Amino acid sequence: MARVSLAARRQRALEILDILEATYPQARCELRFASVFQLLTATILSAQCTDVGVNKVTPKLFDRYPGPYELAAASHGDVETIIHSTGFYRAKADSIIRMSQMLVSQFGGKVPRTLDELVKLPGVGRKTANVVLSEAFGVPGITTDTHVMRLSRRLGWSKHKDPEKVEAELGRLFPEDTWITLCHVVIWHGRRRCHARRPACGACPAADLCPSFGEGETDPEKAAALVTQPPPVS
């Protein structure tokens, strides 16, 4: 089988991106937050938890601890109780409290604006840092969350399972000025149609370009029944 050139892969990838943009024109981050600090905290809590699950606990958390100074002085036990349902609550409570303490002691209570500084914070890796940079500061970045990882393999954009390798490969396929939109629409597509266990292939607008078509339900009516609509972000 002839090897597909990078140019051909890039063209098909951009065609799929165009389709997903048209399908999800309202795509955006679905975490609820009122400040950069709250975005950072919510993103840390989203590890191994859905945004819907995080959004259930953050109103109480942020009402009690709205900023880094308040959370830096919080009781571990109280924070653990509030975020318990997000999973790994002890580790997450420790991370967000220590993250807040570091913001206070080293950054004057402000969330830093560079990836190198962000990844020094407890609980923050490249994925979380890219979310904060793109959502809060408009800095292009590729967020390799579970949906981006899964769909990158299904759509033939990357065969890698290592997040940094996937990030680098997507960076070669897509222009930098599309990265933020790319992550939003791919995540929305993964949540609504291209599910992990049973993708709605027959209701996918990019089906004709997808090399994995047929992994899920192909009958249009049955596939349409699989399409989900997560609760809207207020």
222 catalytic, yes or no?
A: no
Out of 51, 63, 120, 127, which one is annotated catalytic?
127
Q: Which of 51, 60, 145, 219 is catalytic?
A: 145
- Buried b vs exposed e over 11-48: b needs ≥16 C-beta within 10 Å? ebbeebbebbeebbeebebbbbbeebbbbbbbbbbbbe
92 among known catalytic residues: no
> Rounded CA gap, 213 and 58, in Å?
38
**pLDDT, tens digit only, all 234 positions of the chain:** 447 788 999 999 999 999 999 999 999 999 999 999 999 999 999 999 999 999 999 999 999 999 999 999 999 999 999 999 999 999 999 999 999 999 999 999 999 999 999 999 999 999 999 999 999 999 999 999 999 999 999 999 999 999 999 999 999 999 999 999 999 999 999 999 999 999 999 999 999 999 999 999 999 999 999 999 876 555
Q: Which residue in 171, 161, 168, 158 sits closest to 212, CA to CA? A: 158
pLDDT at 229: 82
pLDDT at 219: 97
